[in-house]
Structure 1
Amino acid sequence: MEDAVFFAITPKSFRKLFDLYYEPLCRSLNYYTRDAQAIEEIVQDVFVTLWEDRDRLHIEHIKTYLFSAARYRALNYLRDRQRQATFLEAWSEEELLQKQGNDVLNYDELIPQLQIAIENLPTRCRQIFDLSRKEQLTYRQIADSLNISIKTVESQMSIALRKIRDHFASNYHCG
């Protein structure tokens, strides 16, 4: 690529790039998540990496580089958040099952107690829990249908699972 012109990143050009592309990059990531804090962190990470690696990078098309880097970071962020939520959910369910096993609960006794625990959840929390468990919707689908962030869904599911676990812990003690 002898004829290629690579973009040199100087403090002045970096500032211009930041001013020019920060907002458009943030807006473009709204397609992937509506979590403004996560979007800002992702875009800032892209610019930090650009600055830190400026001497090693050979960028021919800076706009393409920035938008691609932001998109990949957003997808990685979403993947990692989903893995974390899935792990937390599995762990919570395992804890509940283990607690049930330790208490030797009768299945006929368990279901009504579970229903009571779910009914006692705060309204929004119960709604999100039901969409996840009864309707089998993904966190993304729940977030989209309720016009909330995935982070809010994850938080509400964590609260729901903790309250259900606490309900069982306070009503059934290991002997």
Structure 2
Amino acid sequence: MDIQTFRIYYDTYYKPLCRFLNLYTQDIEVIEDVIQEIFLKLWENKDSIEITYIKTYLFRAAKNKVLNHLRNEENRHYLLENWFNQQIEDSKHKECFDLDTLTDLLNRAIDQLPSKCKEIFLLSRREQLSYKQIAEKLNISIKTVETQISIALRRIKDILSSSTFAFLWLFI
């Protein structure tokens, strides 16, 4: 494959690949990164790769790469959520914390979230809805749900950690 052939492939398939990946995620940065990685790999392996149908290759590679990205994002959120839950569980066993006080702090932290963020967080935690169910219920993207949950967890963690230090100062 020479540079002219590569350029033809890029010009021909870039926009169709964007539209195709938009079915999986509406995050334009992710879409552009995936397409860039696919074309970079194609160029780097131009001398060794044997492709019979370039369109099939590009679309399959794009689909696999975006699904891997989404899976890794979901795993990151899952790990963060587990860490957060473990921190709460660990704090239950410390003698200096009163469970009612901690629950009150957590509820106040949740109340301080922006309204949409709070709504999404409560649908996830209290009603145990999946990200997909929340997205469908609120007519938003799954990526928006993921982002709002991340924001909620980060803000709650920040509020609890600052409140915890203030709470600990009372016992010192």
Tell whether the structures are fold-level matches, with TM greater than 0.5: yes
Check conservation: 1:132, 1:138, Cα contact below 8 A: yes
**TM-score of the aligned structures, taking structure 1 as reference length:** 0.83
1:44 to 36, 42, 46: 36
In structure 2, the partner of 1:95 is 87
Pick closer, same or farther for the CA change 1:49–1:140 going to 2, 3 Å. farther
Alignment of structure 1 residues 1-175 onto 2, 5 Å? 9-102=1-94, 104-144=96-136, 145-148=138-141, 150=143, 152-172=144-164, 173-174=167-168, 175=171
Of 53-62 and 100-109, deviating more is: 100-109
Instruction: Give identity over the alignment, percent.
Output: 42
Q: Secondary structure at the match of 1:80?
A: helix
* Greater alpha carbon shift after TM alignment, 23-32 vs 159-168: 159-168
Distance 1:131 1:141, change over 3 A: same
- Secondary structure in 2 aligned to 1:131? helix
Counterparts of 1:30 and 1:122 in 2: how far apart (Å)?
Answer: 28
Q: What CA distance in whole angstroms lies between the structure 2 residues aligned with 1:164 and 1:101?
A: 20
Structure 2, unpaired ranges of 5+: none
Task: Supply the distance in 2 between the matched residues of 1:59 and 1:45 (Cα, whole angstroms).
Answer: 17
Pairs aligned (count) = 166
Amino acid in structure 2 at the alignment position of 1:128: I
Q: State which drifts further: 163-172 or 58-67.
A: 163-172
How far apart are residue 103 of structure 1 and its match?
A: 5.5
1:22 Cα shift? 0.3
Q: CA distance change for structure 1 residues 156 and 100 in 2, over 3 Å: closer, same or farther?
A: farther
RMSD: 2.0
CA distance in 1, matches of 2:93, 2:159: 15
Higher RCO, 1 vs 2 (CA within 8 Å, ≥6 residues apart): 1
Kindly provide the CA deviation profile for residues 84-119 of structure 1, in whole angstroms up to 9, marking residues without a partner as x.
111111122222333443354333333333222211
Question: CA offset at residue 123 of structure 1?
Answer: 1.1
Mark the runs of 5 or more structure 1 residues left unpaired by the alignment. Answer: 1-8
Displacement of 1:149 after TM fit? Answer: 5.2
* 1-structure distance, mates of 2:104, 2:97: 12
Deviations 1:21-41 (A, max 9, x none): 000011001111111110111
User: 1-side partners of 2:46 and 2:134: how far apart?
Assistant: 40
Distance 2:132 2:73 in 1: 11
